Amino acid sequence: MQAFLKIVGISARQQMTYRTALVAGLFTNLFFGILRASLLIALYQGETSVNGMDVGGAITYVALSQAMIAYLTIFGNTEMGRTVSDGSIASDLIKPVHFILLWLGRDLGRSLVNFVVRGLFFIGLFSLFYSLYYPLEIGRWFLFFVSLIFSWLLNFFWRMLVNLGAFWSPDIQGFARLAFGFSQLFSGFVLPLRLLPDWFSRLSNWTPFPGMMNHPMEVYLGIYSPSQLLGAFGHQLIWLFILVFLCLALFRLGIRRLVIQGG
């Protein structure tokens, strides 16, 4: 645990060194957040509510999803996959921490910095342009943060699963773009799932992706009934277990292939 916490701390300090990039990312998120909110307002066309989500809730959904882009690394990355291609994975494999736990610590350090700089600061700036919804119940805040933690874990293990494909491919960029494009669409990042056709929402719920974005946003907005709330947390936990299992299994197979090939 001590080694893991050191990895998190080092990663956070590294992320803080790129202050200009953090600020640039913050204002880029703000621009696209305002654009997305404007499009949603036009989509409502004066309607007060669509499928249980009013226009204020939709704007708040956009604000939260934009604020969490960097925290959740919603656009994905192939950093780990590149270490397989260039051979630098060898140095990671000899560290006194399991390979997946090592990358979990690195990702957590970056995400914590982005949560503050590109998350909380973003909400403050966005509220200057639009009126946002803030829950009054402490319990709602607690459930939101718990769901957001599960969301982060789901995103991490999904990205890890995609990156592990590098053991079988010299370049996973094309596959990764396709995989992360699917996760953005089916997670509710592009549009809240409630605003999409019912058949699409039902299809999405057979995947892990709603737990990566849509669930914590709707927990925050208080849209779920008690039974739906339990279902949302159950969905996140079940898929988290599945993704962890798949990552561990694929990692074992990948390492065996790497060693056999003399990598």
DSSP states along 72-134: HTTT---HHHHHHHHSTHHHHHTSSS-HHHHHHHHHHHHHHHHHIIIIIHHHHHHTTTS----
Asked whether the predicted pLDDT for residue 24 surpasses 60, the reply is yes
Q: Which helix (H) or strand (E) holds 49?
A: strand 49-50
Local structure of 261: helix, strand or coil: coil
Asked whether the predicted pLDDT for residue 260 surpasses 50, the reply is no
What confidence score (pLDDT) does residue 261 get?
47
First to last CA, the chain: 29
Q: What is the pLDDT of residues 151-193, one digit of tens each?
A: 999 999 999 999 999 888 877 888 889 999 999 999 999 889 9
Local structure of 129: helix, strand or coil: coil
Q: Tell me the mean pLDDT in the region 26-52.
A: 84
- Looking at the 3D structure of the chain, how many domains does it have? 1
Helices 173-186, 138-163: crossing angle, 10 deg rounding: 160
> CA torsion 148→131→133→188, rounded to 10°?
-40
Write out the residue range of the structural domain in which residue 105 sits. Answer: 2-260
**Dist. CA 114–CA 62, nearest whole Å:** 17
Residues β-bridged to residue 53:
50
Rama region for 49: left / alpha / beta (φ>0; ψ in -120 to 50; rest): beta
Q: What is the pLDDT of residues 186-231, one digit of tens each?
A: 999 988 998 888 899 899 999 999 999 999 999 999 888 889 999 9
Residues β-bridged to residue 49:
54
Asked whether the predicted pLDDT for residue 259 surpasses 80, the reply is no
What confidence score (pLDDT) does residue 168 get?
87
**Dist. CA 164–CA 187, nearest whole Å:** 21
Q: Tell me the mean pLDDT in the region 55-60.
A: 89
Helices 99-115, 2-16: crossing angle, 10 deg rounding: 40
> CA torsion 77→81→87→88, rounded to 10°?
40
Q: What is the pLDDT of residues 115-161, one digit of tens each?
A: 988 888 899 999 999 989 999 899 999 999 999 999 999 999 999 99
Q: What is the pLDDT of residues 74-120, one digit of tens each?
A: 998 888 888 888 888 888 888 888 899 999 999 999 999 999 888 88
Residues β-bridged to residue 50:
53
Contact present, 49 and 122 (Cβ < 8 Å) = no
What confidence score (pLDDT) does residue 111 get?
93
Q: Which helix (H) or strand (E) holds 36?
A: helix 19-44
| Backbone CA torsion sign across 98, 22, 154, 229 | positive
What confidence score (pLDDT) does residue 263 get?
46
What confidence score (pLDDT) does residue 5 get?
86
What confidence score (pLDDT) does residue 138 get?
93
Maximum Cα interatomic distance, the chain, rounded to a whole number of Å: 64
